[in-house]
Chain A
Amino acid sequence: MNRLNKLFESKKDNLLSIYFTAGYPELNTTVAIAEALEKAGVDFLEIGFPYSDPVADGPTIQHSSERALENGMNLNQLFEELKDLRERVSIPVLLMGYFNPMLQYGIERFCKKAVEAGVDGVIVPDLPMYEYETLYSRYFIDNGLSNIFLVTPQTSQERVRRIDSLSNSFIYLLSSSSITGKNLQLSNAIEDYYKRIKAMQLKNPAIIGFGISSNETFKKACEYARGAIVGSAFVKFLEQDNYLERIPEFIKSIKN
């Protein structure tokens, strides 16, 4: 059982995950930020590795990715920075990024390196299920790395079932079909969608992401899923000076 499964066993609700882009606002801060987030009470982490063409991201994460690349972040640098991850951080850690940098690094090599660094899972928005299943899943499975799939309000029931069967930690429910950085807008249709997913009684827990930016949206999401992920709001927060010291403040504002 990996760290993710253990977490979902031991804590039943209000799980909070934070996304940030490695290399933003500066290099060599990845583990320090992760450590501060764990101390502030975050349950698990998503560390983004930047890509030049992040089509699923809004302006905030586009900007952090661009800056991170300018700073010299790449997968070699990231794995270098993660060397002491597991000496300093014990909560589950996922990597999140686009497929091409992984492909160029080598998928098998990427999976090995990630697990060596103590990473528990990966979210790759533009790696489709068909290619994952037919070409790459064995590298993930052999190395014990979870692959997390996204589900949107438009994902068919049948496809949700298939995603559930291919998943072994959790399912990432998008609050709506949108790029990152929009504010969650609750409507009857969205509530129906959450209820529909809940009623399917999937084997994997669901976590809601995209558009979670405040205590209000976090609480709302936790009514329908085991927890929620805050991304753009935290990335924006990192713009200010002394962000490391102020992380507890930010997390408190979300968890309240």
Chain B
Amino acid sequence: MKYGVNEQGYYGDFGGAYIPEMLYPNVEELRQQYAKVINDPDFKAEYDGLLRDYVGRPSPLYHAKRYSEKYGANLFFKREDLNHTGSHKINNAIGQILLAIRLGKKRIIAETGAGQHGVATATVCALKGIECVVYMGEVDMERQAPNVSRMKMLGAKVIPATSGSKTLKDATNEAMRDWINNPVDTHYIIGSVVGPYPYPDMVAQFQSVISFETRKQLLQKTGSELPQYVLACVGGGSNAMGMFYHFLDDQAVNLIAVEAAGQGVNSGHSAATTFLGREGVLHGSRTILMQTEDGQVVEPYSISAGLDYPGIGPQHAHLYKIKRAQYVSITDDEALQAGLLCSQLEGIIPAIETAHALAYLEKMTFKADDNVVICISGRGDKDLSTYIKYFNF
């Protein structure tokens, strides 16, 4: 694949595995095994079976009529919000738990921001009867409280990350420390297309089912597999990479990745990585990240816990640099308004992360026969308290 990873784990200038020696054996084991395991017919059958019967795939491609009317094009929602556990995160969690079992691992750790990846991981651990520990920033535990309870109900242990900004970046640091301390029997289920190689590629492959299905569904509904535009929000970038994956080689498809501008790109309270970041190394890969002149990572801000991360996955950094995809940003206010609009026009309360992608429609102009796909990465149940506070319901 033209935009795929090379043998050393790089996408152009980005990627690699910048990890301490303590993590080397685990990451190397994954590197050697993941392609083999993922392509094994036995694995495939179990993975596809669970996606179908447990997750509820294929997720529908819904022709959003009132949205289409409003924006003057054919708008389709790829309904990852309808997946079991309420977001795209489960696609990756299922894949990785099956891989971990085949590698003989006995204990699972994960980081989570919005709690959706934590819930997905806790779910697949319950499904397979494996011990599960989830690290979550203290700030996120508060703003995504329903997901903390869900993880606990599913039998996972949730450990607060209390350093730094107490959000996703810090939860990721804690998960990496746990993995260093437990080098033999633990698998780390990273929740996005970030981390050392092979994670960005592995997670992208597990999420690629989103665009795989979309192509078939579009063909059926529009007579063509290819839309003019594809939109998705970007935290680390897993739903976006899944949504882009099978369109990457089709240059006619415009790929739009929506970052969180927080209170505004230049407000000092933002998570718009490509606008504010420079090349550097974070969490095991060379990518674009928000940092000071001295190379200290800057604490990001977004109202959306899932987008509140100072970096993006290395493949996104590459697509940004070579301009294969367009990276834009949306503020907290714009996202919340879009969340309300989607609720009232389509009867779908989206996750605040997803609402960022929807909000960008306001800034686009379409031709009447354009086909546009928006990845509805998750549902908004977890965000109700934030919406309620903002709109004063």
Give A contacts to B, CB under 8 Å. 51-56, 58, 62, 66, 69, 74-76, 99-105, 125-128, 130-131, 149-152, 154-156, 159, 174, 177-179, 182
The digit string for B1-44, where 1 denotes a CB below 8 A from any CB of A, is 00000001000000011111110110000000000000000000
> Which residue in chain A gives the minimum CB-CB distance to B177?
A179
Closest-by-CB residue of B relative to A59 is B163
Q: Are B281 and A126 in contact, with the CB atoms below 8 A?
A: yes
B16 touches A128 (CB 8 A): yes
Q: Mark B145-182, 1 if CB is under 8 A from A, else 0.
A: 00000000000000000011000010001001100110
Select one of B8, B17, B280 contacting A104, CB under 8 A.
B280
In whole angstroms, how far apart are the Cα atoms of A51 and B19 in the complex?
15
Contact residues in A for B219 (Cβ distance below 8 Å): none
B291 at the interface (CB under 8 A from A): yes
Contact indicator B297/A174 (Cβ below 8 Å)? no
Q: Could you tell me the distance between the alpha carbons of A174 and B181 in the complex, rounded to whole angstroms?
A: 12
- Given known A-B contacts A52-B164, A53-B297, A179-B180, A174 and B291 have beta carbons under 8 A apart: no
Q: Are A131 and B282 in contact (CB under 8 A)?
A: no
Residue B295 interfacial (CB < 8 Å) = yes
Q: Which 6 A-B pairs have the closest CB atoms?
A: A104-B295, A101-B295, A125-B20, A177-B183, A150-B21, A74-B294
Q: How far is the CB of A20 from chain B (nearest CB, A)?
A: 19
**Is A55's CB under 8 angstroms from B177's CB?**
yes
CB-CB contacts below 8 Å: B311-368 with A: none
Tell me whether A100 and B291 are in contact in the complex, defined as CB-CB below 8 angstroms, given that A128-B24, A174-B21, A178-B22 are known contacts: yes
Bound CA span A188–B20, Å: 25
Measured CA separation A78–B16 after assembly (Å): 29
Among the listed A62, A102, A127, A156, which residue makes an inter-chain contact with B25, where contact means beta carbons less than 8 Å apart? A156
| A154 to B22 Cα, complex, angstroms | 8
- B296 at interface, CB cutoff 8 A: yes
What separation, in Å, do the CA atoms of A99 and B19 have in the docked complex?
10
CB of B53 within 8 A of chain A? Answer: no
Most buried by B among A52, A53, A58: A52
CA–CA, A37 and B148, complex, Å: 48
Residues 294-311 of B, flagged 1 when their CB comes within 8 A of A and 0 if not, give 111100000000000000
B:246-294 near A, CB below 8 Å: 278, 280-284, 291, 293-294
Q: Could you pull out 28 A-B pairs where Cβ atoms are within 8 angstroms? A: A51-B295, A51-B296, A52-B164, A53-B169, A54-B173, A55-B283, A62-B163, A69-B296, A74-B296, A99-B18, A101-B296, A103-B281, A104-B293, A126-B281, A126-B284, A128-B16, A149-B21, A150-B22, A151-B21, A154-B24, A155-B24, A174-B22, A177-B22, A177-B180, A177-B183, A178-B180, A179-B177, A182-B181
